Amino acid sequence: MGGVTNNLFSLTVEDCHLKRTLDNVEEKLFHRTSAPDESLLNSLYPIIEQKIINNNLIVDTTPLIYQRYLPWMLFERKTKSYFWEGLLTIEGAWSQIYQMLLARMDALTIHILVSEVQSNSYGLTGDSFAKIVNDIEKLTSNVHPQRWSQIRLMMEKRQDDSNITGGWSRVVLASRANAILTTFSIFRSATHEQNADDQKSKSLNSERNEFWRQYFINGKVPYAWLVVPSEGDVTSKYGNVISINEPLEKGMALCFQVGDYLVMEKSVLNGVIVSDLPKGSEDIKQAIKTMYNESPLIKHKFSGHGYWQYRTSSYLKKSTQFMPRRSEYLK
SS3 304: coil
Least confident of 68-82, 254-268, 294-308: 294-308
- Alpha-carbon distances, residue 163 vs 171, 174, 219, 292 (angstroms): 9, 11, 21, 39
Query: Residue 96's pLDDT is what?
Result: 92
CA distance 141 to 128: 21
Query: pLDDT tier at 74 (50, 70, 90 boundaries)?
Result: confident
For the cut 90, the answer to whether the pLDDT of residue 40 exceeds it is no
Q: Is 125 exposed, middle or buried, given 0-12, 13-18 or 19+ CB atoms closer than 10 A?
A: buried
Residue 75 has pLDDT above 70, yes or no: yes
Task: Please choose, from the candidates 176, 175, 173, 168, the residue with its C-alpha nearest in 3D space to the C-alpha of residue 141.
Answer: 168
What are the extents of the domains in the chain?
34-158, 175-329
> Please, are residues 175 and 121 in contact by the beta-carbon 8 Å criterion?
yes
pLDDT band at residue 59 under the 50/70/90 scheme: confident
Segment 87-97 shows an average pLDDT of 86
Q: Select the highest-mean-pLDDT range: 83-97, 100-114, 183-197, 283-297.
A: 83-97
pLDDT at 55 over 50: yes
DSSP SS3 for 194: helix
Task: Return the pLDDT at 111.
Answer: 74
Instruction: State how far the Cα of 223 lies from the Cα of 130, in Å rounded to an integer.
Output: 12
According to DSSP, the residues that pair with 227 across neighbouring strands are: 242, 253
Question: Does 32 or 67 have the greater pLDDT score?
Answer: 67
- Residue that wins the pLDDT comparison between 52 and 110: 52
Q: CA 167 to CA 188: how far, in whole Å? A: 32
Residue 33 exposure: Cα atoms within 13 Å on the Cβ side: 8
Across the range 279-307, mean pLDDT stands at: 71
Under the banding of pLDDT at 50, 70 and 90, the label for residue 305 is low
Task: Give the pLDDT of residue 125.
Answer: 54
- 8 Å CB contact between 36 and 69: yes
